[in-house]
């Protein structure tokens, strides 16, 4: 009996380049073409010319890479990158830029696990793996080197001439759209993500040998702090993915802040973030740089708020229930709490934010010196909003009970998100109540800011991480809340009724650095009273 032989299908190198080009352009760039259509508006002729130009350039690039031992690895690489990134663009409207690449490298297994859903796996299987296997399977026909070069040039040269002509006659419209909408080309697969990864690798290499320069070395306790025997304690809560518009304290129709409302907190309604993702916003908040001057390199090359506090003799600790401090807490006492294995608050490598409370209670009972404690919440991080709150805070139903947001209605997504905000309200109120509990021995205050907001389907966008220049308000308008014990108000000469008159003033992450220094009565040349949100209501000593 003869064994059946399998003959591999054959295809020419230029033909394969054309097929893969078409696949990348049509299948993995749906969101890109949709966005291009919006940005070119009614200029159909310019849009068509732009489409032809991009298509020809992709074909040229694939043809250039069609050398015998290069073509398959190159095409498979492009398909894998495009297949993966198209999922996030088409499903959530996410642009895979440098910051998103950085976030992917620092995320936890548990956080990443929420994104690896059945829908994601199927997408990768059909849009990345199977096409790659087909390329690996086929036999590519190659001409002799001279003939191949001539045939390739016969394709490349006319294509480039055509692109030149199209660009020449449509330069104004092309340049205008690309300049005004920088997000469009970042969405293009595979060049956008590859360029983002290259920028991340370059910046990571440059920062590897950064020497951190001292900052605020002149910091010292002010008169109020120096003469007070009772320790002053400020708890700084760095929130996660909380958007201000879903806080009832800011006028949201649902009651998502009942406990904070009962405590009579000071709430600033008009606060903007430094970035739209943790990797940018968190270090920016603590850096002392304004958003307009902030860069990652600057933040990593200079000490920050927690370091300035230590120079003044303040005991500073960072407790993390998220993916780390992003370099902020490198020089201070740091503890990660999401690795707890024996707590009912923890599951699958993640913990509910009440994981802070027992340790905070014990810490406050033992404090004998002026202290700042930073609590970095997990907050409302998506897409698995349902996992951010316990059953008793499942007030708004039906709530989306999966990380696959496309399987839920928008109202179910909003319900789950609002439940997470309700739980954040409870967690923040619990922190304030613990400070109240220990008021006999410490003078406590709490300040809360979220790192960024969240899109919940508005204009087809979900999650966060949009480039700041085009980021929707949902991702940049964040909550800013403060609570002060009576003893703290007395010691620091703070008038909270006065603060309420400033509650609608424009605030931002720029204010956090100077506000916390002011809260701890720290005297230093790096303190800017104009950026201290509470300074107008503090009696001068």
pLDDT value of residue 97: 85
Give the count of beta carbons closer than 10 Å to the beta carbon of residue 139: 10
Q: What pLDDT score does 5 carry?
A: 60
Task: Give yes or no for a contact between 290 and 500, defined as CB atoms under 8 angstroms apart.
Answer: no
The answer on pLDDT for 219 being more than 70 is yes
**pLDDT score of 4 more than 70:** no
- pLDDT of 1: 43
Query: How far from 441 is each of 335, 357, 372, 374, 522, CA to CA, in Å?
Result: 24, 18, 15, 20, 21
DSSP-based three-state secondary structure for 228: coil
| Ordered DSSP codes for 263-318 | HT-EEES-EE-S-SSHHHHHHHHHHS--TTT--HHHHHTB--HHHHHHHTT-EEEE
DSSP-assigned letter for residue 494: B
231-315+337-371+380-487+496-513 homologous superfamily: Alkaline Phosphatase, subunit A (3.40.720.10)
SS3 at position 541: coil
CA torsion sign for 323, 209, 305, 220 is positive
Asked whether residue 89 carries a pLDDT value surpassing 70, the answer given is yes
- pLDDT for the residue 172: 84
Q: Could you write out the three-class secondary structure of 332-383?
A: CEEEECCCCCCCCCEECCEECCCHHHHHHHHHHHHCCCCEEEEEECCCCCCC
Phi and psi at residue 400, to the nearest 5°: -65, 120
Confidence bin at 94 (pLDDT 50/70/90) = confident
Give which of 106, 213, 95 is closest to 461, Cα–Cα.
95
The answer to whether the beta carbons of residues 58 and 21 sit under 8 Å apart is yes
Task: To the nearest 10°, report the CA torsion of 90, 37, 61, 166.
Answer: 180
Structure-block tokens of residue 147: 């003939």
For residue 176, the model assigns a pLDDT of 80
Q: What is the pTM of this model?
A: 0.85
Q: How many CB atoms lie within 10 A of CB 134?
A: 15
State the pairing for strand pair 480-484/315-320.
unpaired
Which comes out higher in pLDDT, residue 80 or 42? Answer: 80
What is the three-state SS of 412-423?
HHHHHHHHHHHH
Mean pLDDT (whole number) for 433-462: 96
H/E run at residue 41:
none
Mean pLDDT of 125-140: 95
Beta bridge partners of 201: none
* C-alpha–C-alpha distance, residues 171 and 164, integer Å: 10
Q: How many residues does the structure list for the chain? A: 541
Residue 482 near residue 445 (C-beta atoms within 8 A): yes
Instruction: For 102-127, give one letter per residue: b (16+ CB within 10 A) or e.
Output: bbeeebbebbeebbebebbeebbeeb
User: Does the structure show a pLDDT above 50 at 376?
Assistant: yes
3-class SS of residue 451: coil
Domain extents in the chain: 10-204, 231-315+337-371+380-487+496-513
* Strands of 49-144, DSSP E: 139-141
Q: How confident is residue 181, by pLDDT bands cut at 50, 70 and 90?
A: confident
Report strand pairing: 350-351 vs 220-221. Answer: unpaired
Q: Which of 377, 430, 504, 420 lies closest to 247, judged by CA? A: 420
Neighbours of 131 (CB within 10 A): 22
Tokens of 158: 């006319």
Instruction: Tell me the two tokens of residue 389.
Output: 């709150």
Per DSSP, the three-state class of 78 is: helix
Residue reference for tokens 């403060």: 482
pLDDT reported for residue 345: 95
Structure confidence by residue, pLDDT tens digits, 251-294: 999 999 999 999 999 999 999 999 999 999 999 999 999 999 99
For 16-32, what is each residue's pLDDT tens digit? 999 999 999 999 999 99
* CB 323, CB 107: distance < 8 Å: yes
């Amino acid at each position: 009996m003869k064994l059946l032989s399998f003959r591999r299908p054959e295809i020419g190198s230029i033909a394969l380049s054309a097929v893969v080009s078409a696949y990348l352009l049509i299948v993995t760039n749906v969101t890109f073409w949709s966005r291009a259509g919006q940005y070119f508006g009614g200029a159909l002729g310019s849009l068509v010319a732009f489409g032809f130009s991009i298509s020809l350039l992709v074909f040229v690039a694939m043809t250039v890479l069609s050398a015998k031992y290069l073509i398959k690895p190159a095409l498979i690489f492009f398909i894998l990158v495009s297949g993966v990134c198209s999922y996030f663009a088409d499903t959530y409207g996410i642009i895979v830029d440098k910051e998103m690449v950085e976030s992917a490298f620092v995320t936890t297994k548990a956080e990443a696990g929420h994104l690896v859903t059945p829908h994601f796996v199927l997408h990768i299987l059909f849009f990345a793996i199977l096409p790659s296997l087909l390329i690996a399977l086929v036999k590519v026909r190659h001409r002799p080197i001279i003939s191949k070069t001539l045939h390739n040039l016969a394709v490349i040269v006319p294509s480039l001439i055509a692109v030149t002509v199209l660009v020449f006659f449509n330069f104004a419209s092309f340049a205008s759209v690309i300049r005004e909408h920088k997000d469009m080309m970042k969405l293009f697969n595979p060049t956008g993500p590859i360029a983002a990864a290259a920028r991340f690798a370059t910046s990571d290499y440059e920062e590897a040998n950064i020497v951190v320069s001292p900052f605020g070395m002149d910091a010292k306790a002010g008169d109020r702090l120096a003469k007070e025997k009772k320790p002053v304690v400020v708890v700084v809560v760095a929130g996660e993915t909380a958007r201000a518009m879903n806080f009832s304290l800011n006028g949201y129709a649902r009651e998502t802040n009942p406990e904070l409302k009962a405590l009579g907190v000071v709430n600033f309604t008009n606060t903007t973030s430094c970035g739209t993702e943790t990797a940018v916003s968190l270090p920016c908040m603590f850096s002392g740089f304004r958003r307009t001057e902030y860069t990652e390199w600057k933040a990593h090359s200079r000490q920050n708020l927690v370091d300035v506090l230590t120079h003044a003799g303040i005991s500073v600790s960072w407790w993390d229930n998220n993916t780390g401090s992003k370099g902020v807490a490198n020089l201070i006492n740091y503890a990660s709490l999401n690795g707890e294995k024996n707590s009912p608050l923890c599951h699958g490598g993640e913990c509910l934010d009440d994981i802070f409370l027992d340790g905070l209670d014990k810490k406050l009972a033992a404090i004998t010196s002026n202290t700042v404690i930073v609590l970095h919440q997990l907050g409302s991080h998506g897409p698995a909003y349902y996992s951010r709150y316990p059953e008793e805070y499942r007030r708004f139903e039906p709530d989306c009970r999966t990380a696959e947001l496309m399987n839920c209605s928008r109202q179910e997504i909003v319900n789950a998100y609002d439940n997470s905000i309700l739980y954040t309200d409870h967690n923040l109120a619990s922190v304030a109540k613990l400070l109240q509990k220990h008021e006999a021995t410490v003078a406590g205050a709490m300040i809360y800011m979220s790192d960024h907001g969240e899109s919940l389907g508005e204009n087809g966008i979900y999650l966060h991480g949009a480039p700041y220049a085009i980021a929707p308000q949902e991702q940049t308008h964040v909550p800013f809340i403060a609570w002060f014990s009576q003893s703290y108000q007395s010691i620091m000469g703070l008038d909270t009724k006065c603060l309420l008159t400033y509650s609608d003033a424009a605030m931002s992450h720029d204010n956090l650095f100077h506000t916390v220094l002011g809260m701890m009565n720290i005297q230093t040349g790096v303190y800017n009273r104009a950026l201290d949100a509470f300074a107008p209501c503090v009696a001068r000593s």
